[in-house]
């Protein structure tokens, strides 16, 4: 298999792997609810924890991390399928760099699949867990540093978005520190992943500036027909008027018993 075909293969497989909406499936299969209609409406780990509870939320996080790691591992296997990577087919790149580009393409495709899943109208999560999985498979030392920063900031601020944005900003820095600028595929992946994650958190950044970003909390498992609705749905519900008040349509006061 030549190098271009390998690139196309990991691109397609990575995207399809990332597109599996585990949070939506967990909500529908085990709780009989659509996670898009509860909590923030986002199909990510944070909303799964808030709406479905800790066990289901943690399971969703593990599955989303596994998507990114599996995409990278698949590319690593494909890189040497049928023999070593052909440097001549990879425009003069050495075997390590050629394999690195395959892993980066597969990882970026998995993140795109997670954020824009074709099975649910090109919606999805914000890609943090899937990015973490790809990071774990490619650069375990960077993953460990990022995990400390991420969970540390959440513990201090109770804002998941703060932890997510901070590790996105630091990802390229850690990558250069641990891999050096010689590893172009990894550095480029870190930059693109950071930009993608920050862009997907643009609404959170606005809420943080306005002081309206909700703090992290783990809710009790929701049930079908119960649990918090989305903010938009809550605002759309008409408010009941107390008895004895004058109605706008008639201008009369209802009789009291």
Which two three-digit tokens encode residue 151?
Answer: 């969970």
Q: Identify which of 168, 189, 10, 193 has the alpha carbon closest to the alpha carbon of residue 85.
A: 10
pLDDT value for 85: 53
Summarize the confidence of residues 108-129 as an average pLDDT.
Answer: 94
What are the two backbone dihedrals, phi and then psi, of residue 250, each rounded to the nearest 5 degrees?
Answer: -115, -25
Report the pLDDT value the prediction gives residue 217, as an integer from 0 to 100. Answer: 83
pLDDT at 80: 80
Mean pLDDT of 101-110: 96
What is the rounded (10 degree) CA torsion for 250, 255, 256, 257?
-150
Range with the lowest mean pLDDT among 70-74, 101-105, 122-126, 219-223? 219-223
- The average pLDDT across 190-214 equals 94
* pTM exceeds 0.85: no
- pLDDT value of residue 181: 52
């Amino acid at each position: 298999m030549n190098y271009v075909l390998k690139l196309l293969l990991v691109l397609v497989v990575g995207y399809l792997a990332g597109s599996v909406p585990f949070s939506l499936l967990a909500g529908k299969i085990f709780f009989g609810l659509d996670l898009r209609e509860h909590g923030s409406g986002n199909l990510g780990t944070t909303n799964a924890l808030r709406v479905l509870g800790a066990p289901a939320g943690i399971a969703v996080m593990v599955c989303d991390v596994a998507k990114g790691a599996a995409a990278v591992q698949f590319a690593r296997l494909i890189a040497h399928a049928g023999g070593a990577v052909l440097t001549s087919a990879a425009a003069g790149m050495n075997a390590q760099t050629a394999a690195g580009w395959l892993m980066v393409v597969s990882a970026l495709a998995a993140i795109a699949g997670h954020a824009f899943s074709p099975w649910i109208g090109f919606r999805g999560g914000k890609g943090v867990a899937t990015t973490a999985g790809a990071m774990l498979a490619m650069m375990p030392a960077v993953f460990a540093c990022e995990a400390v920063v991420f969970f540390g900031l959440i513990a201090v601020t109770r804002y998941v978005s703060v932890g997510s944005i901070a590790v996105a900003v630091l990802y390229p820095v850690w990558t250069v520190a641990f891999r050096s600028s010689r590893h172009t595929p990894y550095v480029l992946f870190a930059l693109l992943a950071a930009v993608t994650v920050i862009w997907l958190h643009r609404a959170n950044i606005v809420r943080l500036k306005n002081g309206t970003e909700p703090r992290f909390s783990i809710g009790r498992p929701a049930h079908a027909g119960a649990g918090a609705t989305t903010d938009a749905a809550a605002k759309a519900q008409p408010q009941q008027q107390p008895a004895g008040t004058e109605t706008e349509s008639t201008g009369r006061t209802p009789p009291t018993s």
